[in-house]
Structure 1
Amino acid sequence: MEQETDVPTSYAALQAAITQRQASLSPRLRQIAEYALSNPNDMALETVAQIAERAGVQPSALIRFSKTLGFEGFTEMQRVFRTRLTDNMPNYKERIRALTDGAAGLTDGSRVLEHFIGAGINALEHLRQELSPEDLDGAIDLLEEADHIYVMGQRRSFPVAAYLSYALGRLGRRTILLDGMGGMLRQQVQAIGDRDLLVAISFKPYSEETVDLCRLAAENGVPVLGITDGTLSPILPLAGVTLSVEDAQVKGFRSLTATMCLAVSLIVALGQRLDKEKAGR
């Protein structure tokens, strides 16, 4: 017998419902939940068969997932995913489909560039729509108040971590880039205290080292600022403030367009605040 539940009617409510239920879902349904929140555009625009193939599950599992959330079937749930596009991003469906349909013909450098530009524009528009001013201000508060700022980002996230470390240093903030050179990561983090800040940047597939460090910091009462993707990110429950970014992707290749835009914005906003405080003294 299906568990009775309120049926989400908005994308925000659907996102919250999936997040709340993730711990009680079976491994297969949890796999769908992770895919759905990481790929809301696919959930809104593609068929059951296409989504099932990309998520690595059977179509029947998608229907079961929909019913777990209180929907009568997949189509009813898909309508809620579509509200995210129609309410916030006019013509988003057409632009997404144009990008996807044309991606098969990436035969020369100019076409590759064109598709990444299009994907980057969509990612930036999503960042503008989804990132709340409250979360952004909260992140700036943490960066301003910390005695020392430790920045961690592995693999694809490393360029963002390196930039933040450099730029924060230029603002006069005492900053340490946790690069783990020579296997010395544990030694690098031994001095982190509860008046410091850990900035952790990680995207799916998440860096085990970054997640482990976030867990260690949270256990020791160290504030964590997370820059990550999706409400199922393992960094989310460990961070006091999380800035969520869904960056551009073309044929499996992800850029850092929106993430770097966010990083630069944090630096400029923090710099402006520090200048105002200095002028007011």
Structure 2
Amino acid sequence: MKQQTKHSDARRPLMAADQSGQGARQDEDASKRSWGSEQLAAFEDRLRHLRLTPSQQSLASVVLDNPQQVAMSTIHALAGELGVNESTISRFTAALDLSGYAELRSVCRALANRYSGMLWRFMRADHGAEADSESGANRSQGDGKDLAGKNGTSGQRERRDILAAQDSSSIAASFARIDGVLWDEVVTRLGHAEHIAVIGLRQSQAVAAMFAYLLGLVRSQVSELSAGGARYLDALRDLGPHDCLFAIATQPCSKDTVNVAQWAKSHGVPVIALTDEVLGPLAELADQVLIAGTESDSVLSSMTAPVSMVQALANDVAAVDAAGTRAHLERQEALLKSFGAYADKDL
């Protein structure tokens, strides 16, 4: 069972709203147009200098700041998300001299693939204030404040306050999206699996390490698969149908994480995914998917919601077998005490 989303048609990746042969041909024709670095730069420059209506400005904001959203949405889904008419989107594409929505998605795919997430956000923040003044578009999230140009003590404080508010909203939104039945299934599987292997690479590695540690406190047979080549390959060898792979990845998704999940899936190992991409490669192959938002106006994506979610999971797994958890914690405390693991409070 996979977590449901607000707009079901958003789960149809890279498909035009028109499902007819004509729509397919338009997608094919749009994909043939070359969108190199010079073409993309010219497109962005044109978009910033166009005289747009307020509704079209909101579209321009999404294209510049979150091209992935456009690339993976039908025209109907995008119109619903932004609260505009589909005809507004059609006029917007015409103003940009594009053949239609299919070509808009084509250029947005090129924009999204041009940079990694961190570099993309840095570039947006670096000239965000200038772009806002030229286009008149409100291109920030949350309370309408942009993080660009907030320097000095007061600017740093304001930036922290904005990020704290965004993180709080991200946690609330991520937990609100959880399907109760799905959550129970995930907790039960994590509570009863003979062995749990946790993998998360790059920016997800810290979340994976934390989750493996927390699970290891309340149950046995938990391992974290590192990025160390043969090390995680050796660990995969012993996984079977009664075990579980818990894979964590945020966009851009690590190829190694997907490869491990694909191997596990093909060998009958249940796969649970924690990701921020409903239509991402990890979500598409997992048996159960939890979505945690990582949106942020800062250079770095926010891992607050994923961390909160693995903490909640570990706490609920501890309750699956309360007696077993208590016995496991007692053995853990005895071991730590015998090695004098904790610092003396008098020091």
Q: Same-fold call, TM > 0.5?
A: yes
Query: What does residue 145 of structure 2 align with?
Result: 101
Query: What does residue 221 of structure 2 align with?
Result: 174
Residue range with higher mean Cα deviation, 243-252 or 203-212: 243-252
Q: CA shift at 1:46, angstroms?
A: 5.8
The SS at the match of 2:268 is: coil
2:114 pairs with 1:122: no
Indicate conservation of the 8 Å contact 1:17/1:69, yes or no. Answer: no
Q: Alignment RMSD, CA only?
A: 3.6
Per-residue CA shift, 1:13-38, capped at 9, x if unaligned? Answer: xx322323546774879xxxxxxxxx
Query: What does residue 84 of structure 1 align with?
Result: none
Query: What does residue 17 of structure 1 align with?
Result: 9
- Within 5 Å, give how 1:154-173 maps onto structure 2: 154-173=201-220
Indicate conservation of the 8 Å contact 1:116/1:248, yes or no. Answer: no
Give the letter for the 1:101 counterpart: K
2:67 pairs with 1:75: no
C-alpha separation in 2, matches of 1:21 and 1:264: 31
Give the letter for the 1:256 counterpart: M
Per-residue CA shift, 1:27-56, capped at 9, x if unaligned? Answer: 879xxxxxxxxxxxxxx9962222223355
TM-score by length of 1: 0.71
Per-residue CA shift, 1:132-154, capped at 9, x if unaligned? Answer: 21221111011012100000000
Per-residue CA shift, 1:97-136, capped at 9, x if unaligned? Answer: 42x4242243144233212211111101212321121221
The SS at the match of 1:249 is: coil
Q: CA shift at 1:184, angstroms?
A: 2.9
Taking a change above 3 Å as real, the CA distance of residues 78 and 221 of structure 1, as seen in their structure-2 partners, is farther
Query: What does residue 61 of structure 2 align with?
Result: 50
C-alpha separation in 2, matches of 1:255 and 1:78: 34
C-alpha separation in 2, matches of 1:167 and 1:231: 26
Indicate conservation of the 8 Å contact 1:142/1:225, yes or no. Answer: no
Taking a change above 3 Å as real, the CA distance of residues 182 and 111 of structure 1, as seen in their structure-2 partners, is same
2:341 pairs with 1:270: no
Query: What does residue 188 of structure 1 align with?
Result: 235
Q: CA shift at 1:188, angstroms?
A: 2.4
Q: CA shift at 1:268, angstroms?
A: 0.8
The aligned length equals 233
Per-residue CA shift, 1:147-192, capped at 9, x if unaligned? Answer: 0000000011111110111111111221111003255332221111
Gaps of 5+ in 1: 1-10, 30-43, 80-92
Larger radius of gyration: 2
C-alpha separation in 2, matches of 1:274 and 1:78: 56
Indicate conservation of the 8 Å contact 2:170/2:295, yes or no. Answer: yes
Taking a change above 3 Å as real, the CA distance of residues 45 and 197 of structure 1, as seen in their structure-2 partners, is farther
Taking a change above 3 Å as real, the CA distance of residues 46 and 230 of structure 1, as seen in their structure-2 partners, is farther
Taking a change above 3 Å as real, the CA distance of residues 192 and 78 of structure 1, as seen in their structure-2 partners, is farther
Indicate conservation of the 8 Å contact 1:148/1:196, yes or no. Answer: yes
Give the letter for the 1:18 counterpart: A
2:194 pairs with 1:147: yes
Query: What does residue 269 of structure 2 align with?
Result: 222
Give the letter for the 1:221 counterpart: G
The SS at the match of 1:273 is: coil
C-alpha separation in 2, matches of 1:97 and 1:216: 40
Taking a change above 3 Å as real, the CA distance of residues 114 and 239 of structure 1, as seen in their structure-2 partners, is same
Query: What does residue 66 of structure 1 align with?
Result: 75
Per-residue CA shift, 1:38-80, capped at 9, x if unaligned? Answer: xxxxxx99622222233559xxx88x95269999x9922599x
C-alpha separation in 1, matches of 2:168 and 2:191: 30
Indicate conservation of the 8 Å contact 1:122/1:248, yes or no. Answer: no
TM-score by length of 2: 0.58
The SS at the match of 2:147 is: helix
Give the letter for the 1:19 counterpart: R
Q: CA shift at 1:215, angstroms?
A: 0.8
Q: CA shift at 1:195, angstroms?
A: 0.9
Taking a change above 3 Å as real, the CA distance of residues 171 and 50 of structure 1, as seen in their structure-2 partners, is same
Q: 2:245 aligns with which of 173, 193, 198?
A: 198
Indicate conservation of the 8 Å contact 1:248/1:258, yes or no. Answer: no
